[in-house]
Structure 1
């Protein structure tokens, strides 16, 4: 009997994952991760970890599997929380869920599981794992979940072959309604429980208060740039190479205060992200204001009216060499090579046609259609069919 440690989160997905593994004849152990928790910024009744660990314990008892809690708050604070602060300070917008999977669930947590003699670690993610043989070796694939509405492969876009080799995703072949139905039939306490929102394992956090703990507020100005500003109709220069053209497209427009007019004040450019429209507290505009750029050095926010404002759109983004990650290492591009893929720049976005261009200076992802709110610090992930083959941090 192979031993599997399941990350029981106290939610319905991991509960059903544990049940399915037991049905398949594995020896199953349930492990709840207690992660960094700060009551001062958590919206308290929204997913306190105590309630979750209690639900996880009740599920384990019902399924008749051993259960224990591990405290990973120290590692979580260091690898996720501190990283988030430093990214926001640089004016980038990190994705804690992707990091949490790479650094906590499939690294720290996986090492604990393996020390308990586990052969595999399982989670309640809506994705699937495939195995193919190449040159006599097993190559692992990260495949989209069957439920297109819930597919979570994007959150696992930074996993390695080594991590995937030891991972199991028991509910990847099911839809959310099917998972809830199984939980109801088993009379599990988590059957009707709402999906947790907010940061991976911290629960719902008030982001501004969260960031203000470390990043001091400092007042700055909000500028509005008109959609018909001449800055959007400048002549495109002639380029000596494709790389030069892609670099130009990826850089986008550098705004200056003289391009717009002051419409309000903010408490710190580092609290805001591109594409954001809530929290600006500027009224009196015909359409909603969207953030089109932030300048953390000068502490300025640039905005534009409406979701179709030209300042929100770009066709190309860049990933630095050190931030390029291939799950399928055998498909990694060499300098000068290109690859047609389907890519997304955020969870739940529909996959978009794109071409990868690899140069010594980094990887350019050039989309067929301009994309809205390409945000530095977030992850771009690329697929071939329903297989996610690589990803990178948008620079």
Structure 2
């Protein structure tokens, strides 16, 4: 039977060479592997209206493309989103290990086309007229998002999943990133293992324009930006909420460690060590109202225990530590490769202008930094970066005490409630919150801080509730 199905698709390929009017294309493969498959499809409301494919390479690639077209033609969008390598191989009667790569490529091409078509063409009806009952889960492929999806299923929701493709280039190590094509493939396999439909949302252009380019520009200006706050607040979460609308989902569920107050504001998570409310501080309350954070009341060990009990293979996967687009490249390499900010040696001077040494480029250091400056050690008091001057490419250093300040200038202030509610601020992601008072254009701290880095986000708090955010200025 396996040979008969395979030979049938190879001899009479369904939809080969057919490209429907207004079709969205998705391609996978290419020069490296020698095989290429392209799936072209259109979506009308909640179904695949038409589909075709083209393929180059081995016979298995042609057969796999044909199998995909047959599987998806006329299928509901959310059923097509359940099709992966396993389903393509089964439609061909099973494939040997050597031919399974063709099913991988066909599934990749399908999901690239389907993800883009849903964004522009789909109008999937909600399961109930009031729109409740279906949630879209942001699935990174890690343990937190997987458990968020698991808890959604246990709550009785109809769960759909989506993974973002945000960045790719030749130097990027996709295996270490949560936003690469490799990560998308892994997250899709995990979602399908959990019995859930999975879609891919390609935001590479938006991510480059809205996150990476400003991050590079800020470094060139001598600032210390936080791209994750910008990404969450201006790019990815709102894009996923729009995607949820296309899929008839009333809410977006994520694996962030955060909570929401009864009046619709972000609040710190129960697990203070994992709290991510700072990273979400730029989200408008209208967006927060549609977000669900099922991990907000849990601690990380409990999340891993839930994953193990459910038999999820990511239960012990380590958390990612670096910015997603830096995987395999590193900060210095990325700045040089994409921002033209390579090695530009300059002077390290003290507060009186005396030259103490040289640095590799002012864009490589941040206010408060002590390590990596290459200055003589010995018994002398350690020196910290007090400020940088990108115009003269100079780094000014001094003793730790010289960093102390009780006034932090801020700009780009966004307030979600009355400014009088601001009584604390976090000046870095992992820092503790400090008591403060919000004045015009500045934060007056009730205790000194050592090293407020220009460009970083100031998360404005009422206790542990996020009531606004701003950017630290020079």
Do both share a fold (TM > 0.5)? yes
Partner of 1:12: 143
Partner of 2:285: 161
Partner of 2:177: 47
Kept after mapping to 2: 8 A contact 1:55/1:190: no
Structure 1 residues 188 and 54: alpha-carbon distance in aligned structure 2, compared to 1, 3 A threshold: farther
Task: Pick one of 357, 375, 385 that aligns with 1:264.
Answer: 357
Partners of 2:451 and 2:398 lie apart in 1 by 12
For structure 2, the residue ranges without an aligned partner over 5 or more in a row are 1-131
Partner of 2:467: 389
* Matched residue SS, 1:36: coil
| Shift, 1:104, TM fit | 2.2
Structure 1 residues 314 and 223: alpha-carbon distance in aligned structure 2, compared to 1, 3 A threshold: same
* Matched residue SS, 1:298: coil
The superposition leaves residues 83-141 of structure 1 with CA deviations (integer Å, 9 ceiling, x where unpaired) of 10111111111101111111222222322222222211111100011233xxxxxxx12
Partners of 1:43 and 1:367 lie apart in 2 by 41
Task: Pick one of 289, 299, 306 that aligns with 2:383.
Answer: 289
| Shift, 1:340, TM fit | 5.3
TM-score (norm 1): 0.80
The superposition leaves residues 184-211 of structure 1 with CA deviations (integer Å, 9 ceiling, x where unpaired) of 1111111000001111465465111111
Q: Greater CA deviation, 104-113 or 86-95?
A: 104-113
The superposition leaves residues 218-242 of structure 1 with CA deviations (integer Å, 9 ceiling, x where unpaired) of 32111134xxxxxxxxxxxxxxxxx
Partner of 1:319: 410
Kept after mapping to 2: 8 A contact 1:85/1:215: no
- Structure with a larger share of its residues in helix: 2
Task: Pick one of 313, 333, 340 that aligns with 1:209.
Answer: 333
The superposition leaves residues 241-264 of structure 1 with CA deviations (integer Å, 9 ceiling, x where unpaired) of xxxxxxxxxxxxxxxxxx042121
Partner of 1:23: 154
Q: How many residues align?
A: 338
Regions of 4+ moved over 4 Å? 42-45
Partner of 2:164: 33
CA RMSD of aligned residues (A): 2.0
Partners of 1:69 and 1:93 lie apart in 2 by 31
Structure 1 residues 202 and 56: alpha-carbon distance in aligned structure 2, compared to 1, 3 A threshold: farther
Partner of 1:248: none
For structure 1, the residue ranges without an aligned partner over 5 or more in a row are 133-139, 226-258
Structural mapping, 1:69-108, within 5 Å? 69-108=200-239
TM-score (norm 2): 0.67
Partners of 1:204 and 1:126 lie apart in 2 by 26
Kept after mapping to 1: 8 A contact 2:370/2:385: yes
Matched, 1:332 2:413: no
Partners of 1:37 and 1:180 lie apart in 2 by 29
Partners of 2:218 and 2:275 lie apart in 1 by 27
Structural mapping, 1:174-323, within 5 Å? 174-200=298-324, 203=327, 205-213=329-337, 214-216=339-341, 217-225=343-351, 259-285=352-378, 286-305=380-399, 309-320=400-411, 323=412
Partners of 1:76 and 1:185 lie apart in 2 by 36
Partner of 1:235: none
| Shift, 1:79, TM fit | 0.7
Partners of 1:94 and 1:114 lie apart in 2 by 31
* Matched residue SS, 1:314: strand
